């Protein structure tokens, strides 16, 4: 049996390819939309991808299930659990608790594990060449290393009301009745790692076991004591902000994401070729340089995604493809890097990347407005905006600041003043640069606090020490 994890560091998302090397068939679970990793693994191991399955309706990325099926002819499997209102609306074979997919000697059994979402499935993997019981469970967003999936995303992302409590109770039951009924040796292979917003305490280790989680996970003592309410209280406390784009991902994943197919070759462009379009704000220009470089000068009307390796995460905060259909031009070192950035943006449904430039020569340049920490009290801002998560804000913030996380700001502009300067900050500056550039492009006068909260804290501490001495 081949069982390979394909991990996206950008979105902290894992998908899996399971193959029977005897008969040459493979199944992919929870693929993303850029398909080369799956096709490459299959080709290297002489496998044919005959099936593709989902654990649940994803919120943090756009599923590649339909894309991979269209490219390979694979059969689609999705959950049929959870009731009518949680069903996918595209064609695919529905799986219910106990249903199986067979690949030669390998049996993949669906296990209904609601809680994170009502329809959620985990998959028990049995390698029949060696054993007659499961040795692995693909746990999706049900169980992570050291954590569980959060049950509040339907409230936070979809506008549901108080489903988090029913979800938390379902999650408790799924842990008790499903996961902990498995032998301790069964390996847990989750769909996310550290950095994902699908939980609050995800471990960075890629794999765990039922026995390890039974002994050491934060929820283990609540299950041992059958303390459902204690589990619910701790589970729901301190969950990170849900990014606004999660709502779009849920809707599009239920409907079935558009199939992109073969993509046009990215065009290398010169600044002179697109300068007029940029000046008129007719294209979306993505500046991928660091915050410090951008602060010395960036392209007019551009959005800053200061780490190309996080283009999906940051891009989904700054660009809403449902309301913004302008072509996207990216700044990249070369064609290969431009294609990588396009792949990342494709994962969150930003499909209209058409070209790239390798320098800013010939483009209109502007300098983002900054304010220094020592100038803040006299600046007279209409709003001081903290774009960190609510948990960070609660741990310490600049007095009188309004919290609205960077992943929500563009979709919650009604919380912002219509006139006057907004001074924004995050912890060190990267998230702030993303949010500030997106809000400027939307028409707001946003001034960035140079160095963000870390710089302000240092300055404030020095001021206190001076007064004390």
* Same domain, residue pair 308 and 375: no
* Same domain, residue pair 251 and 319: no
Domain CATH for 63: 3.60.15.10
Cα 232 to Cα 167: distance, rounded to the nearest angstrom: 9
Percent of the chain with pLDDT over 90: 91
The predicted model gives 69-98 an average pLDDT of 96
> Is residue 339 situated within a structural domain?
yes
> Is residue 262 situated within a structural domain?
no
The predicted model gives 379-387 an average pLDDT of 96
The predicted model gives 365-371 an average pLDDT of 98
* Same domain, residue pair 244 and 312: no
Cα 157 to Cα 137: distance, rounded to the nearest angstrom: 27
Band (465; pLDDT cuts 50, 70, 90): confident
> Is residue 193 situated within a structural domain?
yes
In degrees rounded to 5, what are phi and psi of residue 183? Answer: -60, 150
The predicted model gives 116-145 an average pLDDT of 97
Band (468; pLDDT cuts 50, 70, 90): confident
Q: Sheet of 13-20: strands edge to edge?
A: 2-8, 13-20, 25-29, 48-53, 75-79, 93-95
The predicted model gives 423-430 an average pLDDT of 97
Structural domain range at position 426: 370-468
> Is residue 271 situated within a structural domain?
yes
* Same domain, residue pair 62 and 98: yes
* Same domain, residue pair 183 and 286: no
Cα 207 to Cα 268: distance, rounded to the nearest angstrom: 41
Cα 94 to Cα 142: distance, rounded to the nearest angstrom: 19
* Same domain, residue pair 307 and 358: yes
The predicted model gives 355-383 an average pLDDT of 96
Q: Which of 317, 333, 365 is the last residue of a domain?
A: 365
SS (H, E, C) 224-258: HCCCHHHHHHHHHCCCCCCCCHHHHHHHHHHHCCC
Q: Where are the alpha helices (DSSP H) in 126-259?
A: 153-158, 163-177, 210-216, 220-224, 228-236, 245-255
Domain CATH for 443: 3.40.250.10
* Same domain, residue pair 47 and 187: yes
Give 195-205 pLDDT, tens digit per residue: 776 666 677 88
* Same domain, residue pair 456 and 404: yes
The predicted model gives 404-423 an average pLDDT of 96
Locate 451 and state its tokens. 């160095």
Q: Which of 222, 255, 288 is the last residue of a domain?
A: 255
> Is residue 261 situated within a structural domain?
no
Closest CA to 62 of 369, 420, 409, 322: 322
Residues 6+ positions from 264 with CB-CB distance below 8 Å: 354
* Same domain, residue pair 410 and 337: no
| pLDDT over 80 at 375, yes or no | yes
Give 158-209 pLDDT, tens digit per residue: 666 778 999 999 999 999 999 999 999 999 999 998 777 666 667 788 999 9
Q: Are 124 and 39 in contact (CB under 8 A)?
A: no
* Same domain, residue pair 392 and 447: yes
DSSP summary character for residue 266: P
| pLDDT over 80 at 11, yes or no | yes
Pick 69 or 200 by higher pLDDT: 69
* Same domain, residue pair 190 and 170: yes
Positive/negative CA dihedral, 329, 330, 335, 341: negative
> Is residue 374 situated within a structural domain?
yes
User: What is the structure's pLDDT at 160?
Assistant: 67
* Same domain, residue pair 352 and 380: no
User: What is the structure's pLDDT at 200?
Assistant: 67
Locate 292 and state its tokens. 């410090």
Q: Which of 327, 349, 365 is the last residue of a domain?
A: 365
Partner residues linked to 286 by β-bridges: 303, 330
The count of domains in the chain is 3
User: What is the structure's pLDDT at 162?
Assistant: 77
> Is residue 16 situated within a structural domain?
yes
| pLDDT over 70 at 18, yes or no | yes
Q: What 3-state DSSP class applies to 284?
A: strand
The predicted model gives 229-248 an average pLDDT of 94
User: What is the structure's pLDDT at 194?
Assistant: 77
Give 282-323 pLDDT, tens digit per residue: 999 999 999 999 999 999 999 999 989 999 999 999 999 999
What's the mean per-residue pLDDT of the chain? 95
């Amino acid at each position: 049996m081949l069982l390979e994890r394909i991990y996206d560091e950008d979105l902290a998302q894992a998908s899996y390819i399971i193959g029977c090397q005897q008969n040459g068939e493979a199944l992919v679970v929870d693929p993303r939309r850029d398909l080369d990793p799956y096709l490459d693994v299959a080709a290297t191991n002489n496998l044919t991808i005959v099936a593709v399955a989902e654990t649940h309706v994803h919120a943090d990325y756009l599923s590649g299930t339909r894309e991979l099926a269209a490219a390979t002819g694979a059969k689609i499997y999705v959950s049929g659990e959870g009731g009518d209102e949680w069903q996918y609306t595209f064609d695919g074979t529905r799986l219910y608790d106990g249903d199986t997919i067979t690949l030669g000697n390998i049996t993949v059994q669906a296990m209904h594990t609601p809680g994170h979402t009502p329809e959620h499935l985990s998959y028990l993997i049995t390698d029949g060449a060696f054993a007659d019981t499961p040795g692995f469970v693909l746990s999706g967003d049900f169980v992570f290393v050291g954590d569980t999936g959060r049950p509040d995303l339907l409230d936070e992302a979809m506008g549901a009301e108080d489903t988090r409590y029913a979800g938390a109770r379902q999650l408790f039951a799924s842990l008790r009745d499903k996961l902990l009924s498995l032998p301790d040796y069964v390996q847990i292979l989750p769909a996310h790692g550290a950095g994902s917003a699908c939980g609050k305490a995800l471990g960075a280790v890629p794999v765990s076991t039922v026995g390890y989680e039974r002994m050491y996970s934060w929820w283990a003592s609540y299950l041992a004591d059958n303390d459902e309410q204690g589990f619910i209280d701790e589970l729901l406390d301190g969950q990170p902000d849900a990014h606004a784009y999660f709502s779009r991902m849920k809707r599009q994943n239920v409907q079935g994401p558009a199939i992109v197919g073969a993509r046009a070759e990215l065009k290398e462009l010169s600044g002179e070729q697109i300068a007029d379009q940029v000046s008129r704000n007719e294209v979306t220009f993505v500046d991928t340089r660091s915050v410090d470089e951008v602060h010395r000068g960036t392209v007019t009307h551009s959005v800053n995604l200061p780490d190309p390796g996080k283009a999906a995460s940051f891009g989904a905060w700054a660009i809403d493809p449902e309301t913004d259909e302008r072509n996207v031009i990216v700044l990249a070192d070369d064609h290969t890097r431009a294609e990588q950035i396009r792949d990342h943006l494709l994962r969150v449904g930003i499909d209209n990347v058409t070209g790239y430039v390798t320098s800013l020569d010939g483009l209109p340049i502007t300098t983002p407005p900054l304010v220094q920490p020592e100038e803040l009290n006299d600046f007279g801002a209409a709003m001081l905006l903290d774009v960190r998560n609510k948990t960070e804000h609660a741990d310490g913030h600049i007095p009188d600041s309004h919290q609205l996380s960077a992943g929500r700001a563009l979709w919650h502009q009604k919380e912002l003043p219509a006139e006057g300067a907004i001074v924004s900050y995050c912890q060190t500056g990267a998230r702030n640069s993303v949010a500030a550039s997106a809000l400027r492009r939307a028409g707001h006068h946003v001034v960035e606090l140079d160095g963000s909260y870390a710089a302000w804290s240092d300055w404030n501490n020095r001021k206190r020490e001076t007064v004390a001495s």
